[in-house]
Structure 1
Amino acid sequence: MLNDRIWYLFIDDREEGPYSKAELKFDRRITPSTLARKEGSLSWLPISFYKELEDLFEKEREESDSLSENMQSELAMPLETGPPLLFFIVLVLISLLYFYLLVNRE
Structure 2
Amino acid sequence: MILEYALKEEDEYKRMTNITRGCQQLAQQLPFYETFTNSNLIRQLFCCYPFQEEPIRLLLNIMMERFQNLEFLNCLHKGLSELSLLQEQKTMLSCRSAGRRRKSQQKY
Name the structure where helix makes up a greater proportion of residues: 2
Name the structure where strand makes up a greater proportion of residues: 1
Q: TM-score range by the shorter chain?
A: 0.3 to 0.5
| Highest RCO, 1 vs 2 (Cα 8 Å, sep ≥ 6) | 2
- State the structure with more CA Rg: 1
User: Normalization by structure 2: what TM-score?
Assistant: 0.36
